[in-house]
Each structure stands twice: as structure tokens, then as C-alpha cells.
Copies of this chain bind each other. A is one copy, B any other.
């Protein structure tokens, strides 16, 4: 396949959308173990052979879909780039943006992130969040609580990034009972120590 036409040929676009939709549908209906190229092709109303023209196998498909997901999340967060000098308020807005994006595509994220059927999606998002949190840690937390309390940077990063992704997953699993704005604010309260001075 011509790598340039890949992204523009309407037949290719159509097929990939059909595969993605079929995959999401099937994943809501069954466990990942029962997923097969045959089933996906059948549901997508394409030939099984066509699947192999796009993906080597199912793991390859998952990987490429995860790549796409990360790209879309980065796209959604654009406009509020990672700013080393930003204060917590700015990051809180970025989290709200992330949650809004997830809420807008809830049917996709509920299956890929919240179902835990295909760990690769959660893994990718965790990596991304870990990067952001690691960067942020050096720049804006030099004088924060954790810094002073003698907490190892890597442990603090593990703690924060997993708390973040875990909270998002739980929120999705329970069908988003809070608005992105409210949850982002609560998360900010839980993570930052700013509020300590109020009590």
C-alpha cells in the first residue's frame, strides 16, 4: 500500500472505521479472549483477508489503536501545552480538559480503559501521564510538601500517576457520576497540599 494514500483513500478510511467500531462493539459483548479476526471481520462486514491488509494480527491492531488514542488525547490537550512554569491552576485545567475529552468519547474509553480487557490502552495512558507528572515534579514542586518530607521522586511519581489513572478508570467504570470540572477539582485537592493551610 502506498503510505501516502493510506490516510486519504476513502476505502481505507472506511475499512479502518468499520474495524474499529466492530472491535469496540465486540469488546463490550465479550472478553478479549473470545475476540478473533474472523469475528471482527464478520461484524465489520468486511472480508477477513482485508483485515490482514491493515493489521498483522489482533495485538498489532490494539497497538495501532492505542497509538491513535494517545495522539487524540494529545490533540485534545493542545492549547494548554506542558508549561514548566505553570502553577497548579493551569494543570488543573489540563486535567479537566482530559476528563472532558474522555467523557466526550465515553463509549470508546469505557471499553479500552475501564474494562481492563486490553491493558495496552491503560498502559499507554499511564506512560503519558507519568511523563507529564515527572516533568512537572522537578519544575513546580521544588518547595512542595513531598519534596520537604524526604519522599523519593520516583515513588511520588508512581503514587501520583497511578492515582490519576486509577481515579479516571474508576470514574469511567461508574459511568462518570461527577462532572469533569468537579472531579478535576477534587483530584487537585487530594494531590496538592495547598489546602492544608486552610485548616
Residues of A within 8 A of B (CB): 31, 33, 58-59, 116-117, 119, 122-123, 126, 145-146, 148-152, 154-156, 158-163, 165-167, 169-171, 174, 178, 183, 186-187, 189-190, 193, 195-196, 198-199
Neighbour of A145 across the interface among B31, B178, B199, CB < 8 A: B199
Query: Nearest chain B CB to A195's CB is how many angstroms away?
Result: 5
Measured CA separation A189–B145 after assembly (Å): 10
Closest chain B residue, CB of each to CB of A120 = B116
Give the number of times this chain occurs in the complex, counting copies. Answer: 2
In the bound complex, do residue B59 and residue A146 qualify as a contact, i.e. CB atoms below 8 Å apart? no
Specify which chain B residues have a CB less than 8 angstroms from the CB of A195 in the assembled complex.
145, 149
In the bound complex, do residue B166 and residue A165 qualify as a contact, i.e. CB atoms below 8 Å apart? yes
Query: Nearest chain B CB to A27's CB is how many angstroms away?
Result: 13
Neighbour of A190 across the interface among B126, B151, B174, CB < 8 A: B151
What 4 new A-B contacts, CB under 8 Å, besides A149-B195, A196-B196? Answer: A116-B123, A155-B167, A155-B183, A163-B163
Candidate in A123, A159, A189 with the most chain B CB atoms within 10 angstroms: A159
Query: Nearest chain B CB to A111's CB is how many angstroms away?
Result: 13
Supposing A58-B33, A162-B166 touch, asked if A186 and B119 sit within 8 A by C-beta, the answer is no
